[in-house]
């Protein structure tokens, strides 16, 4: 009897072992292939993408950190601000603006090494002084906790306007991560972006990825290109379809995983959807009623006075308006500025003739959600029937589509 029990135990052990082995083989065979990518920090993000999300840093009379070591100040009332970057125990990067308006003196101190000491950082002078604003780029040491804690120099650009936003400084990310993805015998260059300037690259809904899918060696980060994606996208590489499985908070390691489905690469968006109907007062108090623009071709144009890519397109936009307005082309501007007076001043100074809607709420403007605007510049070209036919066209591409829609035969 004991012998029979022993035999049963042996047989049972073998069966369990075989089951575990088969299960292990099955799990191994169905495991999705993974593709790790190491990425280094680069500067000049605007050389890759055509947008940025400026962060407005409010300035106050009292610092947010009480133990700051101050330099010798020129102003009796310095102003303080803060950025929060990384995921360390102390993510606060203190900012000090030492400015005297009567003497025209302005110095910007950034506690770039985050040691609460403004006296051991870079020079406080601005890098460039323009007629209306000043610019300074700083490498901020952003700290990350994790398995291997690290500190990464992160390029950030700061703007200080001379005549407006007196209580603020504007900052935006000038750094991004770049690496190479190897799939079989093909290597793809790619870059990821932390768009909201908190230093956290692993926030899937607050960043973007650009992939050199056509293998021409360049990264086309225009938001309407076939190489620009949300981090949540799936990506087609030949017959392989991948999705991002993991990004480290510092953005130095990204892992793709293969998925079972296959799809063709994304195409430039042309949404044949009805444009939202809206009514609003423009900056001059006049009613803008979109329904009254029926039977016209309309460009709904999201912009801001601080948006340099849009400013570069302004000349071509004015020419299109002059050329086609009498033939039935209109523009409705949607400004995401924080000061309506700044919009009025800019419009008058640059002789912009089309209506502008602005409420001074910046990114919290209601039309941002209505049109799902996530970056600037953005525009929507609407045909005579009120249908959005094209998005994010500029220069000659925009001009040719305006002409195309104006000359389309009317469908009864």
Q: CATH number of the domain that 317 lies in?
A: 3.40.30.10
Residue that terminates a domain, selected from 232, 258, 284:
258
- The answer to whether 304 and 335 are in contact (CB under 8 A) is yes
- Residues 196 and 298 grouped into a single domain: no
Give the number of domains in the chain: 3
Is residue 6 domain-resident? no
Please state, in angstroms and rounded to a whole number, the distance separating the CA atoms of residues 301 and 335.
8
Closest CA to 382 of 285, 284, 273: 273
- Residues 140 and 154 grouped into a single domain: yes
pLDDT (tens digit per residue) in 183-227: 988 999 999 999 999 999 999 888 999 999 999 999 999 887 889
Which pLDDT score is estimated for 264? 45
- Residues 64 and 138 grouped into a single domain: yes
pLDDT (tens digit per residue) in 311-334: 989 999 999 999 999 999 999 999
Percent composition of the chain: helix, strand, coil (DSSP 3-state, to 5): 20, 35, 40
Secondary structure class of 369 (helix, strand, coil): helix
Please state, in angstroms and rounded to a whole number, the distance separating the CA atoms of residues 42 and 74.
35
- The answer to whether 201 and 194 are in contact (CB under 8 A) is yes
- Residues 389 and 304 grouped into a single domain: yes
Is residue 348 domain-resident? yes
- Residues 59 and 161 grouped into a single domain: yes
Residue that terminates a domain, selected from 258, 282, 313:
258
Is residue 193 domain-resident? yes
Range of the domain at 162: 55-173
Is residue 252 domain-resident? yes
More confident residue, 259 or 43: 43
- Residues 279 and 396 grouped into a single domain: yes
Residue that terminates a domain, selected from 258, 286, 307:
258
- Residues 183 and 116 grouped into a single domain: no
Which pLDDT score is estimated for 49? 92
Please state, in angstroms and rounded to a whole number, the distance separating the CA atoms of residues 38 and 403.
46
Q: Report strand pairing: 297-303 vs 329-335.
A: parallel
- The answer to whether 72 and 81 are in contact (CB under 8 A) is no
- Residues 212 and 249 grouped into a single domain: yes
Which of 150-164, 198-212, 256-270 has the least mean pLDDT? Answer: 256-270
Is residue 22 domain-resident? no
Number of CB atoms found within 10 A of residue 119's CB: 11
Is residue 221 domain-resident? yes
- Residues 97 and 145 grouped into a single domain: yes
- Residues 323 and 354 grouped into a single domain: yes
Q: Is the pLDDT of residue 269 over 90?
A: no
Closest CA to 54 of 349, 372, 309, 252: 309
- Residues 304 and 156 grouped into a single domain: no
């Amino acid at each position: 009897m004991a012998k029979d029990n022993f035999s049963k135990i042996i047989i049972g052990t073998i069966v369990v072992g075989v089951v575990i082995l088969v299960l292990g083989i099955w799990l191994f065979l169905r495991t999705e292939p993974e593709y790790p990518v190491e990425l280094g920090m680069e500067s000049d993000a605007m050389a890759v993408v055509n947008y940025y999300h400026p962060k407005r840093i409010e300035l106050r009379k009292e610092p947010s950190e009480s133990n700051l070591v101050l330099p010798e100040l020129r102003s009796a009332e310095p102003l303080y601000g803060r950025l929060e970057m990384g995921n360390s125990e102390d993510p606060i990067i203190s900012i000090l603006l030492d400015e005297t308006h009567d003497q025209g003196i302005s110095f910007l101190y950034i506690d770039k090494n985050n040691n609460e000491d403004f006296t051991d950082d870079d020079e406080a002078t601005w890098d460039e002084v323009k007629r209306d604003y000043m610019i300074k780029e700083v490498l901020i040491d952003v700290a990350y906790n994790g398995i291997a804690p690290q500190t990464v120099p992160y390029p950030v650009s700061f703007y200080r306007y001379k005549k407006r936003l007196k209580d603020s400084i504007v900052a935006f990310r000038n750094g991004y991560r770049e690496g190479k993805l190897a799939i079989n015998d093909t290597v793809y260059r790619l870059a990821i972006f932390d768009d909201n300037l908190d230093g956290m690259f692993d926030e899937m809904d607050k960043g973007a990825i650009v992939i050199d899918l056509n293998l021409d060696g360049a990264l086309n980060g225009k938001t309407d290109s076939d190489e620009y994606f949300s981090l949540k996208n799936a990506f087609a590489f030949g017959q392989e379809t991948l999705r991002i499985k993991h990004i480290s908070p510092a953005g130095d390691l990204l892992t793709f995983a293969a998925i079972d489905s296959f799809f063709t690469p994304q195409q430039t968006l042309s949404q044949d959807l009805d444009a939202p109907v809206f009514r609003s007062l423009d900056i001059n108090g006049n009613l803008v009623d979109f329904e009254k623009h029926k039977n016209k071709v309309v460009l709904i144009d999201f912009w801001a006075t601080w948006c340099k890519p849009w400013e570069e397109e302004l000349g071509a936009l004015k020419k299109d308006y002059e050329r086609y307005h009498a033939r039935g082309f209109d523009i409705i501007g949607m400004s995401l500025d924080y000061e309506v007076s700044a919009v009025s001043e800019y419009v008058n100074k640059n002789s912009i003739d089309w209506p502008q809607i602005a409420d001074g709420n910046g990114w919290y403007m209601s039309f941002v959600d209505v049109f799902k605007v996530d970056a600037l510049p953005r525009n929507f070209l609407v045909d005579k029937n009120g249908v959005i036919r094209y998005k994010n066209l500029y220069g000659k591409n925009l001009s040719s589509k305006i002409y195309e829609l104006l000359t389309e035969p009317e469908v009864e």
